[in-house]
Amino acid sequence: MHKVLAILYSCLPLIATVVMLSACGSPTRLKHNNNIAAKDIFQDHLFDTSFTIQPLDQVFALTPEQEAHFKSKFHSNEYRDLSDSQRVFEYLKNHLEHFISTQRRSQPQNHCPKTPVTACHWPC
């Protein structure tokens, strides 16, 4: 019996605090407006409706000039001893390095250069 009383006595400050805090608080009544129309949520006039998403094959597509440049490099003596995948890798690596170096020269310091995919300036 003494153990039960000791436990209740040790919990009395906690119980009193909870009762006092709950008595001081007033219940908050939230008002919900269920009459919201789609026109209130979506404001299409803020966005450009003429934008179209390009298919993935067009994002990475080359212009005729870029394709001709790539094919001339692909079949050149420089890449003669490489496999097809190594030729593509070397071509992309060289153009990415050239692109980044030209971007760094043309941009202020501490400015991240655009990636070739977003810049679409191949060949440099």
Residue-wise pLDDT tens digits, 82-98: 999 999 999 989 888 88
Q: Which amino acid is at 92?
A: L
Q: How far is CA 123 from CA 19, 69, 91, 110, in A?
A: 75, 7, 10, 25
Q: Higher confidence at residue 12 or residue 40?
A: 12
Residue 100 scores a pLDDT above 50: yes
Instruction: Answer whether residue 118 shows pLDDT above 60.
Output: no
What is the arithmetic mean of pLDDT over 96-120?
Answer: 65
Position with higher pLDDT, 64 vs 19: 64
**pLDDT tens digits for range 17-50:** 877 777 666 667 777 767 777 666 777 777 766 7
Determine the Cα–Cα distance for residues 85 and 93; give it in Å rounded to an integer: 12
Question: pTM score, two decimals?
Answer: 0.41
